[in-house]
Amino acid sequence: MLWDTTEWKISIATVASPLAIPGGRIFLSGGYNAGSRMLQLKQVDGKFTVETLFSLDADVFGATQQSPILYNEHIYGVRPDGKFTCLTLAGKMVWQSDSGQQFGLGPFLLADGKFLAVNDSGLLRMIEASPEKYRLLGQAQILKGRESWGPLAIAGGRLLARDLQRMVCLDIGAR
C-alpha cells in the first residue's frame, strides 16, 4: 500500500468517482450531504502524506450520482439541488445553472467543448464548456421514461442515452 487516509468519511456509499487533478491532487465528491473535498498527495523520502486542501458543504458542491469532470482547470458537475455548476480548482463557485435549469441525477459528458447533459426526465441539454458563464446552447426531449440516469456514450458521431425503459441513438455528427 502506498498510502491511506481517513480524510474522507461519508455515511452512505458515494457513486461519483474520484477526480485526478494535476499537481498530486484528488477531488472527492458525494451526495446525501457529503459535500466535496480536495486532497493533496505528497511524497517525501519515499513516504506519502495526504492532507485536505479544502472542503465544500453539499449546498456548494456534492455530486450524488454522476462524476464531476475536469476541463480547462475547472471542475464541472451537478450538485444535490440539481444545478449544473462550475468550480475553480480552489473550490470557489464560478457559476451555476438557473433554478429552472436543473439536472437531477442524470448523466453528462464533455465533447468538443460542450457538455451534453440529460435530466431525470430525459431532456437533453447542450451547455457551453466555459468558466465564463452558464450558457445553454440548445435542448431536446430525447427520452420519455423516468430515471434517465444511465451514462451517456458517444461513438462515430452518435450519442447513446437510456432510461429505465428505452435506449435512443442520436446522430450528433457535424453537418
Q: What is the pLDDT of residues 98-111, one digit of tens each?
A: 888 888 888 999 99
Its pTM stands at: 0.92
31 DSSP 8-state letter? T
Query: Cα–Cα distance between 125 and 118 in angstroms, integer?
Result: 6
Q: Which residue has the cell 473550490?
A: 91
Mean pLDDT per block of 10 residues along the chain (175 residues) reads 84 82 96 91 93 94 92 95 95 92 90 95 95 96 86 95 93 80
β-strand partners of 162: 167
Q: What is the pLDDT of residue 175?
A: 64
Locate 51 and state its grid cell.
Answer: 492532507
- Terminal-to-terminal C-alpha distance of the chain: 50
Could you name the CATH architecture of 19-171? Beta Barrel (2.40)
Query: Cα–Cα distance between 7 and 89 in angstroms, integer?
Result: 18
Q: What is the pLDDT of residue 149?
A: 86
Q: What is the pLDDT of residue 135?
A: 96
